[in-house]
Chains A and B, each alone.
Chain A
Amino acid sequence: MKPHENLDPLVIAGKSYASRLLVGTGKYKDFAETRAAVEASGAQIITVAIRRTNIGQNPGEPSLLDAIPPSKYTLLPNTAGCYSADDAVRTLRLARELLDGHDLVKLEVLGDPKTLFPNMVETLSAARTLVSEGFKVMVYTSDDPIIARQLEDIGCVAVMPLASLIGSGMGILNPWNLQIIIENAKVPVLVDAGVGTASDAAIAMELGCHGVLMNTAIAAAQNPVLMASAMKKAVEAGREAYLAGRMPKKPYSAAPSSPTAGLITPAGKTT
């Protein structure tokens, strides 16, 4: 398969995306950098946060949506920063109104401001409400295969386990759990959180993840735009390696890559 023919799209809630990399828009120095990094990443699904507007301050302040127009990208409003199911649901109702009825959302309910570990009890409760209200829910979750299956059973359109904690950059800490989640899932599984550098993204994709969502790994790089480009390639490389099927690992091999016959000095002899 040739890589850029888009024969291998990521399908979420019935819609196809050529890029398997999803990126956030937080922690950039300004909107120009946000836009440049998003462009370099090739991502089509872009997460945004929903926050109270400043009242009466800087009325001419630029808007994120001018830099990342909803006409060009699929915006994925998220509930990052919410610590209860209620807050998460209210936030996404506001997001749907803000984005003219757009119903693809990222649900994330945190349990602890120190570690940013998700609260899965609140997440499950919010997911039930949101699905019943017609939202298409991509859900951030711990890497527990049973919870992941419950979220899928509720009707979430994608399950997004952490690779390690949000913003930690610690990479893929439990590939075995991720593999179980991927094996069991009938909806796309995306690693969300924990990726630190390009190899982490490639490993996630080689495990069989359908996509990777990241923010800090790009935004906190010394050169975010260059890292965005690296992540694009890593996700593509990881996906192709997964599809290609890797060679088996073994501690040593008696089969070198070059022919064993026809050597000018036969094997085992010295001149």
Chain B
Amino acid sequence: MISITINDEQRRFEQPLNCSELLSRLELAGKRIALERNGEIVPRSRFPEQMLMDGDKLEIVVAVGGG
């Protein structure tokens, strides 16, 4: 069991998983998002290989309306 904080919300997962798998679980696969892990950008090309660890803090963002 690992626990990951995503956008300030805690989530638990049974198995270790990588960024691509996480995005599928969150129904965000294929969406235009950007992901920061513990303060560092994870490039989209590295989503399949970037494993997530217990205690990771993620930010997942999108573009929204703004001035």
Q: For chain A, residues 237 to 260, give those with C-beta under 8 angstroms from any C-beta of chain B.
A: none
User: A51 touching B6 by the CB < 8 A rule?
Assistant: no
Given that A56-B27, A90-B36, A90-B39 are contacting pairs, would A48 and B63 also be in contact in the complex, using a CB cutoff of 8 Å?
Answer: yes
User: B62 touching A63 by the CB < 8 A rule?
Assistant: yes
Residues of A within 8 A of B8 (CB): 52
In the assembled complex, the CB of A90 is this many whole angstroms from the nearest CB of chain B, namely 7
**Bound Cα distance A216, B65 (Å):** 12
Quick check: is A94 within 8 A (CB to CB) of the other chain?
Answer: yes
Residues of B within 8 A of A78 (CB): 66-67
Main secondary structure of the interface of A (DSSP, over half): mixed
Quick check: is B2 within 8 A (CB to CB) of the other chain?
Answer: no
User: B32 touching A98 by the CB < 8 A rule?
Assistant: yes
User: B66 touching A98 by the CB < 8 A rule?
Assistant: no
Q: Which of B9, B32, B44, B61 contacts A63 (CB 8 A)?
A: B32
Residues of A within 8 A of B36 (CB): 90, 93-94
**Bound Cα distance A55, B59 (Å):** 11
In the assembled complex, the CB of A135 is this many whole angstroms from the nearest CB of chain B, namely 13
Could you say which of A20-28, A168-176, A225-233 contacts chain B? A20-28
Given that A53-B7, A55-B9, A56-B27 are contacting pairs, would A98 and B63 also be in contact in the complex, using a CB cutoff of 8 Å?
Answer: yes
Given that A49-B63, A50-B61, A53-B33 are contacting pairs, would A97 and B43 also be in contact in the complex, using a CB cutoff of 8 Å?
Answer: yes
**Bound Cα distance A48, B27 (Å):** 23
Say which size band chain A's interface belongs to.
35 or more
Q: For chain B, residues 9 to 65, give those with C-beta under 8 angstroms from any C-beta of chain A.
A: 9, 11, 26-28, 31-36, 39, 41, 43-44, 59-65
**Bound Cα distance A47, B61 (Å):** 16
Quick check: is A215 within 8 A (CB to CB) of the other chain?
Answer: yes
Residues of B within 8 A of A188 (CB): none
**Bound Cα distance A81, B43 (Å):** 24
Residues of A within 8 A of B60 (CB): 52-53, 55
Quick check: is A104 within 8 A (CB to CB) of the other chain?
Answer: no
Quick check: is A235 within 8 A (CB to CB) of the other chain?
Answer: no
**Bound Cα distance A55, B11 (Å):** 11
In the assembled complex, the CB of A107 is this many whole angstroms from the nearest CB of chain B, namely 13
Q: Which of B9, B31, B63, B67 contacts A50 (CB 8 A)?
A: B63
In the assembled complex, the CB of B42 is this many whole angstroms from the nearest CB of chain A, namely 8
Q: Which of A75, A81, A90, A214 contacts B63 (CB 8 A)?
A: A75
**23 pairs, CB–CB < 8 Å, chain A vs chain B:** A24-B65, A26-B67, A27-B65, A28-B65, A50-B34, A52-B7, A52-B8, A53-B7, A53-B60, A55-B6, A55-B28, A55-B60, A63-B62, A64-B62, A90-B36, A90-B39, A91-B61, A93-B36, A94-B36, A94-B61, A97-B44, A166-B67, A214-B67
Sort A-B residue pairs by CB-CB distance and give the 6 closest, nearest first: A49-B66, A215-B67, A24-B67, A59-B27, A98-B34, A25-B65
With A59-B27, A63-B32, A78-B66 known, 4 other A-B pairs at CB within 8 A are A49-B66, A53-B28, A75-B63, A94-B36
